[in-house]
Chain A
Amino acid sequence: GAVVSQHPSWVICKSGTSVKIECRSLDFQATTMFWYRQFPKQSLMLMATSNEGSKATYEQGVEKDKFLINHASLTLSTLTVTSAHPEDSSFYICSARDFGTAYGYTFGSGTRLTVV
């Protein structure tokens, strides 16, 4: 079935630095990628929707200049957390729309970001 590879699985960075998270669709073309953030004991909150070759659509309250999303190819989308702060520490998950099935949403394995 469809697979989305997400890296890194976990990362610890210093406050003020930037971190890049990658999501690759391995056996299908992901024209649309969703980026979610999940705080402990909470559900997935959509941050932005990215479409290949165009600018991402951000949800209300999500700073587009802080969370840079690039979807330059049909198999790769990246999320860069710029000038990270401790409050950005969270679990970030990507999800690609697999149009092969009505229920086809394939999730990456998630990235645990800790900003110290």
Chain B
Amino acid sequence: GQNIDQPTEMTATEGAIVQINCTYQTSGFNGLFWYQQHAGEAPTFLSYNVLDGLEEKGRFSSFLSRSKGYSYLLLKELQMKDSASYLCAVRAKHNAGNMLTFGGGTRLMVKP
């Protein structure tokens, strides 16, 4: 099976930088995804990593280390609207239909 861990909650200040970590254990790793989800809404895609290294996209960056089973999502210049849950999800080659397995999600609260 797959085991995906991320902190339950985090708090940060508007304008600051926050790093949300995700560790995973899986065989046949085939990609890691980060999604943002506001309460009562569907998740929206943020980033995808399949090779080691950093992927940067505007204020959001995601890092992956496959040997360590570790990823982080970095949010810069935090805005109030960034208050949401951030979901780490892993895809494994053996998963039927290429399904994603989600971590428990990290609820981020951005304070003024």
Measured CB to CB, the residues of A under 8 A from B are 6, 32, 34, 36, 41-46, 49, 51, 57, 91, 93, 95, 97, 102-103, 105, 107-110, 112
Contact = CB atoms under 8 A, between A and B. Distances in A.
Contacts of B41: 109-110
Interface of B: 31, 33, 40-45, 48, 50, 85, 87, 96-105, 107
A17 B8 CA distance: 35
A42 B31 contact: no
A6 B100 CA distance: 19
A97 B33 CA distance: 14
B97 A51 contact: yes
Contacts of A36: 102
A102 B97 contact: no
A102 B48 CA distance: 9
A85 B93 CA distance: 36
Nearest to A41: B107
A44 B44 CA distance: 13
Contact of A43 (B40, B97, B98, B104): B104
A49 B40 CA distance: 22
Nearest to A99: B98
A87 B48 CA distance: 34
7 contacts: A42-B104, A44-B102, A57-B96, A91-B40, A103-B45, A105-B33, A107-B43
Contacts of A43: 85, 87, 102-105
A40 B69 CA distance: 28
A51 B85 CA distance: 29
Nearest to A107: B42
Nearest to A40: B39
B3 to A, nearest CB: 13
B94 to A, nearest CB: 13
Given A43-B103, A102-B50, A103-B48, A97 B42 contact: no
A45 B45 CA distance: 17
A58 B84 CA distance: 29
A44 B87 contact: yes
A48 to B, nearest CB: 10
